[in-house]
Structure 1
Amino acid sequence: MKNLLLTLLLGLACLTAAAQQSCDWEELYDELYAAGEESQAVREENLEILSALAAHPVPLNTASREDLERIPFLTAEQIEELQAYVYRYHGMRTLGELALIESLDAVRRQLLPYFVCIAPAAEQGIFPSLKNILTHAKHTLLFTSRIPFYRREGDRNGYLGYPYAHSFRYAFRDGDYVQAGLVGAQDPGEPFFAHGNNLGYDHYSFYVLIRKMGRLKTLAAGRYRISFGQGLVINNTFGLGKTGLLTTLGRQPAGIRAHSSRSADGYLQGAAATVEVARHTDLTAFLSYRTVDAVLSDSGTVRTLPKNGYHRTEREMSHKDAAAQLAAGTHLGWTCGALRMGLTGVFSRFSRELTPSTSLYYRRYAPSGNDFWNVSVDYSYLHHRWSMGGETATDSRGNLATANRLSFQPVSCLSLLAAQRYYGYRYTALFARSSGDNASVQNESGLLVGAEWKVARGLSIMGYTDLAYFSHPRPGAHTASKAWDNLAVLAYIYKRWSLRVRYRVRIREKDNAGRTALVRELTQRGRLSLSYAAASWNFRSQIDFAASRYLRRSTGYMFTETGTWQPAAWLSLTATAGYFHTADFSSRIYVYERGPLYAFSFPAFYGRGVRCGLFARADLSRRLMLILRSSTTRYFDRDTIASGLQQISSSTMSDLDVQLRWKF
């Protein structure tokens, strides 16, 4: 109770004071994609990519098309217009000129300055020598820890390690040419220098990335991620779901990226390179070998491949590195003016045979065997009024998947999109990730139609409707089923005021209580937020609601107040206070909270209670930064939180996050 009162008093003090110069890009990212269906792991991966871009913005006046394509929320048309403006007017003098790019909506006009900069052309030259790299490179060391003021059941009996989460990051960088780094991460309950983690941290990631070295466009060694086409064969870099499909008009970021994340899943390990083999023709090749977590059967085959990366108990430790995976692939890309075409091939082999249990109806067509391969053809064409693109892929058994989209801009203020997808129910691609209603690229066909309309300066409306059909059983439905997803978003920005309204309604067919027939699950989620930003402070008032109807009704709401104050150039304070009241987990509410660097905080709240938090960032010097965040959740409807080894024997849960960054 003391922690709750302390956090609440500090939060209210900050709210009633005057609060930051402008909202952070994480908040704008949340506004753009909060209605998306991507998982927490995918959100964290997205945050890693955007955080790296924010730390090292793209110089607009010297950026190539490939450089601008690294900014994942831009459409192909916006990239084209940015380059045309720079060429026509011989560069931008200030970022204020972004207001002259007609295709940029109000939110992206606010978001883009965090990821681009104005740098003179003289700063861009040929690839530096080794001596210059070692002399001018910048180093960053980041330590992060979370200290809980509670004990879970597993901390008393079950977990092998202590309850604290901590990590470190070391990054070495010379401009846009050379990057290298090492990451170590430990989740709560995981052993440290004990029980099999003899090297200390449970997860390490190491990487080297070289760019713009003549014909060698990109070279990665260590751990990395790759994406091509629409992601039907391989995409483990960036995912924004259906919301991102609409906001980017179907453009999918492609190429090689370093894996600098805490995430222990989805990366490749080895080497990858993109080389310009001829004019307008690039060849990418990669080779990867890594161990993976696996649940083994009595005969030594693989039953399932856990993705959460947790190794807290003896059982979870027994799954660690239980199998190995070899992967290799190539992509040949050809560009001719506005036309792009690509050919992708990927092969993968497991050291142990995959033998998933097919007793569960929705796992009947889960990947099985040792060897897997996929081949695809992708294309895109860009016109100043319209664009089209897509990918068609096949697997080793001849099963097909295809995704195609067409966008049209009849006038500068209106963009229309139609996107079709068909993923065969037997189609298997281990590294695939694309838009859809399912979590995997399998057993789904659908059509999404959407529009984005800039009604007037500062006012925009975005929405889509998406129909999906599943020809075979999926989780929650024992037979063929359908889904209908609809989203509408209104954003209005006037001077220092911002008003945003979002409403989403989703209808899915699911099993009834006796699993004898299908019934409809209706889920509605809405948000109304109003914010004001002054020179040194801002505030935001927000109302969220959720309603679900499946077997029984469930409704909920949450009121949230957030304020930020920057009393000095080196100090920033943010306070959050919220009250939530929902019937159960079905009507849970998700709310963005400002957190430490590289940690996207998007918790879910259900039941009845209050949430309070205080965030402080102090740039103690040009090289040293300190972040502290205290957060408390107090429930009024329960005496324990969670269950099993995660159970907390209290109605209050408080944490303290500490982060220290040193640049040298």
Structure 2
Amino acid sequence: MPAQSGKPTAAPWEELLYGLVSDEEDTDEDLLDEWYDVMSGLADHPLDINTATREELELIPFLNDRQIEDICEYIYRYDSMKTTGELALIESLDRPRRQLLEYIVYAGDNRKETLPSVGNMMKYGRHTLTATAKIPMYKRKGDINGYLGYPYKHWLRYDFGYRDRVRLGIVASQDAGEPMFADKNPAGYDYYSLYMQLRKTGRIESLTLGRYRVAFGMGLVAGTSFNLGKTAVLNGLGRPVNAIRVHSSRSEAGYMQGAAITLRMTKRLTASVFASYRPLDATLNRDGTAATIVYNGYHRTIGEMEKKNNTRATTAGANVRYAANGFHAGATLVYTHLNRRLSPDTEVLYRRHYAKGSDFVNWSTDYGYIHHLFTLQGETAVDRHGALATINTASVYPNDRLRMTLLHRFYSHKYTSLHANSFCDGNKVQNEHGIYAGIGWHPSPQIELSAYTDLAYFAWPKYLVSGKSYSSDNMLTATLSQGGWTLTGRYRLRLRQRDNEDKSALKNRTEHRLRLSIARSLEYGWGCKTQLDLAQTYFKRRDRGLMVTQYANRTFGHGQISMNVSYFNTTGYDSRLYAYDPGMLYTFSSQAYQGHGIHYALMARIAPWHSIRLSAKVAVTDYFDRPTIGSSYQTVYRSSTTDVEIQARIKL
């Protein structure tokens, strides 16, 4: 196993991960949590790079097709890697990805194993128990009168893994305000996730029981695993992923519950089948039908608790995939039945083509070809009514320093899928026709330049848009690294159309964002980073925002101390600004700030013994422009909040 797996301090891959997704300010928080959870699972249970198949390497979310192909070719040519240091010899792997790989792969002895005995698994497997609690040093309005439970958030996680062959565990989570051993939570915690996965056993590529996520093709039919945004696509993260993963996060969105199996039919052909029966939360109409399905997982009030598990979804699906000589093709079919009819208010024009009914069928074909100079990928899907959705990408790699990507998608305004999750400018795979072009260039090992532009057309009205509309999103990023210093600059311009005040015409909403940062890795375990964020938006009024953030950390012996301070001053919600807030293990936190105030946090991690890691964090947010914070039941009757988080992790 890799030497770094025994490090007692916080995983440095967290900062590296944030560097890849920090541009994704508007990415759904649940998707970021899922991304982080996948990375945490890989870090806890690394892959043997010498025996990993291409499909297993595709489980690593930050690798693009060219990089995966180059790794496979290197292993084939030289038989194996002696150490992961040989990753530096693969020219298509840039420094951040090489560093991330060091934490999630290891160079094994290149032996194909049979299924280990239970005794060997228990002897050589790894048990990990993590307990976390968040304690607010203040009271919300709902804590005084409105919430059914106490104000503390806490969760437990047990995970067992034997190499990259066996994984099983359970997650139990309680949000602040939710009742425990009461109401609809007689078993204690509000949320439980049990999972088990067996991999690489004869013809069985993977067998998964409990809660899991599926992703086939490019996500037009089955994309319950994560999908990030436009910078991720430029970095090669938008590639098709055929994967069934355990659901070990605390997110209540996007998972399946039941069983899934992937079989190796021949050397080039795999087949996957999955079945799921899971409860859903729904807002009900007066006639008992479901108006909307709710995935936030909150059950704090009487109204939220009434929605808990009031609807059931039965889902079955299958996928076949053929891959040979760089070419791959697949077909996916997914059927879902809801025990309550989904009946949104279609009298509202923008909801006219929302998903409705009790039965949903989607099928698709995905296809692609991978060459060392270019890759072609795509998927075309239809729903039960014949409405079409298609997405196609082409990436060109003239050399190891230059990459260019072109992506086209067309999602009919009538296309509906309960499990679709793919690249889009809006928030769903529906009502969008767009083209994206991006370029990344390394003129030297120290300099990286990247840019993209994305244009989209929406044929049907959207929320806050009464007619056909357009959007434009553009970004330019430059990074200079030299002698331990890293200087980064990024500018983003977005244009979106919205209704004017009397809804007689559309008006452009213009958004400018600028980020400048300088980071320094110092000797003796010191590191620091200074970041400046600016925002300016124009719509009904002009909004401005400014934020300055300072990070510092010190790693020593058996521990680590880190701090961050953010001063922010914005004139409205549209000019809100984002900053990474280091947190507990298995928690990815990117905070949004608006108004005038300061946020500061101090976190310490220590490993008094090799198998035990303790963490504590204190975070304070002071507002200078308001006597209260929040609204409704989340209202805090003071101008500052202090949160304390503690975590204990035992690994045996």
Q: TM-score, normalised by structure 1?
A: 0.95
Alignment of 1:370-519 (within 5 A): 370-519=358-507
Give 1:573's match in structure 2, choosing from 538, 561, 572: 561
Equivalent position SS for 1:74: coil
How many residue pairs end up in the alignment?
A: 643
1:530 correspondence with 2:518: yes
1:258 correspondence with 2:239: no
1:160 correspondence with 2:148: yes
**Distance in 2 of aligned mates of 1:269 and 1:21:** 34
Equivalent position SS for 2:18: helix
CA contact (8 A) 2:270 2:322 kept: yes
Equivalent position SS for 2:138: coil
CA contact (8 A) 1:229 1:252 kept: yes
CA contact (8 A) 1:143 1:168 kept: yes
Alpha-carbon deviation of 1:56?
2.1
Alignment of 1:35-114 (within 5 A): 35-36=23-24, 37-114=26-103
Alignment of 1:109-508 (within 5 A): 109-122=98-111, 125-248=113-236, 250-508=238-496
CA deviations over 1:139-158 (Å, ceiling 9, x no partner): 11110110001100000010
CA contact (8 A) 2:47 2:163 kept: no
CA deviations over 1:463-483 (Å, ceiling 9, x no partner): 110000000011121111000
Give 2:14's match in structure 1, choosing from 12, 26, 37: 26
**Distance in 1 of aligned mates of 2:51 and 2:179:** 47
**Distance in 2 of aligned mates of 1:359 and 1:164:** 41
CA deviations over 1:545-583 (Å, ceiling 9, x no partner): 1111111100111111111012x3211000111211111
CA contact (8 A) 1:21 1:533 kept: no
Higher mean C-alpha deviation, range 448-457 or range 21-30: 21-30
Tell me the residue number matched to 2:593: 605
**Distance in 1 of aligned mates of 2:257 and 2:425:** 29
**Distance in 1 of aligned mates of 2:131 and 2:10:** 26
Equivalent position SS for 1:349: strand
Alignment of 1:608-623 (within 5 A): 608-623=596-611
**Distance in 2 of aligned mates of 1:513 and 1:427:** 30
Higher mean C-alpha deviation, range 83-92 or range 439-448: 83-92
CA deviations over 1:155-178 (Å, ceiling 9, x no partner): 001000011000000111111111
**Distance in 2 of aligned mates of 1:119 and 1:457:** 30
**Distance in 1 of aligned mates of 2:36 and 2:399:** 33
CA contact (8 A) 1:564 1:572 kept: yes
1:157 alignment partner AA: N
Equivalent position SS for 1:397: coil
Alpha-carbon deviation of 1:23?
8.4
Equivalent position SS for 1:526: strand
CA contact (8 A) 1:570 1:620 kept: yes
CA contact (8 A) 1:22 1:538 kept: no
**Aligned-residue identity in percent:** 41
Alpha-carbon deviation of 1:209?
0.4
Equivalent position SS for 1:600: coil
Equivalent position SS for 1:590: strand
Tell me the residue number matched to 2:549: 560
Equivalent position SS for 1:317: helix
Equivalent position SS for 1:655: strand
2:118 alignment partner AA: L
Tell me the residue number matched to 2:572: 584
CA deviations over 1:257-311 (Å, ceiling 9, x no partner): 0001111121100100000122311110001011100111121111111111100
Q: Which runs of 5+ in 1 are unaligned?
A: 1-19
Give 1:546's match in structure 2, choosing from 530, 535, 553: 535
CA deviations over 1:312-354 (Å, ceiling 9, x no partner): 0000000001110000000011112111000100000000111
**Distance in 1 of aligned mates of 2:135 and 2:533:** 29
**Distance in 1 of aligned mates of 2:268 and 2:597:** 59
Alpha-carbon deviation of 1:108?
2.3
**Distance in 1 of aligned mates of 2:477 and 2:87:** 23
CA contact (8 A) 1:249 1:407 kept: no
Alpha-carbon deviation of 1:647?
0.5
Residues 1:459 and 1:93: Cα distance change in structure 2 (over 3 Å): farther
CA contact (8 A) 1:22 1:537 kept: no
Equivalent position SS for 1:305: strand
Alpha-carbon deviation of 1:495?
2.9
Alpha-carbon deviation of 1:129?
2.1
1:96 alignment partner AA: G
1:637 correspondence with 2:601: no
Residues 1:107 and 1:488: Cα distance change in structure 2 (over 3 Å): farther
Q: C-alpha root-mean-square deviation of aligned residues, in Å?
A: 1.5
Equivalent position SS for 1:245: helix
Alpha-carbon deviation of 1:252?
2.6
1:154 alignment partner AA: G
Higher mean C-alpha deviation, range 49-58 or range 178-187: 49-58
Residues 1:21 and 1:219: Cα distance change in structure 2 (over 3 Å): closer
CA contact (8 A) 2:80 2:110 kept: no
Residues 1:22 and 1:372: Cα distance change in structure 2 (over 3 Å): closer
Q: Which runs of 5+ in 2 are unaligned?
A: 1-7
Residues 1:171 and 1:22: Cα distance change in structure 2 (over 3 Å): closer
Tell me the residue number matched to 1:9: none
Alpha-carbon deviation of 1:117?
2.4
Tell me the residue number matched to 1:651: 639
Higher mean C-alpha deviation, range 132-141 or range 342-351: 132-141
Residues 1:649 and 1:458: Cα distance change in structure 2 (over 3 Å): same
Alpha-carbon deviation of 1:249?
6.2
